[in-house]
Structure 1
Amino acid sequence: MLSEKSRPLIEATLPLVGSRLGAITPNFYSRMFAARPELLDGLFSRANQNNGEQQKALAGSIAGFASALVANPDVIPEQMLSRISHKHTSLGITEDQYDIVYKYLFEAIAEELADVITAEIAEAWTEVYWLMANAMIKIEKGLYALQANDKMWMPWTVVEKNPAGTDCITFVLEPADDTPVTAGRPGQYVSVKVALPDGLLQCRQYSLSADAASTTHRVFTTKRDDGGEVSPVLHRDVLVGDVVELSNPYGDVTLDDSDGPVVFATAGIGCTPSASALRSLAANGSGREVMVLHAEKNLEAWALREQMTGDVDALDGAELQLWLEEPTEGFNTGFMTLSGLDLPADASMYVCGPLPFMKAIRNQAIDAGIPAAKIHYEVFGPDLWLAGAN
Structure 2
Amino acid sequence: MQDANKNINQEINLTAKDLLKRRAIIKCTPDQTLAQALAALNRTHDAAFIFDSNDKYLGVINPYISVFKSRHPGDTKIANILFKPPQLTLDSYVWDVAKLMMDLKIYFLPVFAENGDFAGVVSVNRLFDALAKRDDIVKQINLDTKSEVRTIKEDANLDYTYNLMRDARVSRLPVVDVRGRLVGIVTRFDIQAVFSEPMKNRSWAPRIGEKSSYLSQPLRNYYHKMVVTAPVSATALQIISLILDKQVGSVVIIDKNRVPVGIVSIYDLLRAVGKLRPQVEGDMNVKVADDFANKAQLEEILDKFYSKMDRFNPVRKIRFVLDTKRNAAGVPSRYSTHMMLTLRSGRQYIAKVMDYDWKKAVRKTVDKLRKQLTA
TM-score range, shorter chain: under 0.3
The structure with the greater share of residues assigned to helix is 1
The structure with the greater share of residues assigned to strand is 2
TM-score by length of 2: 0.25
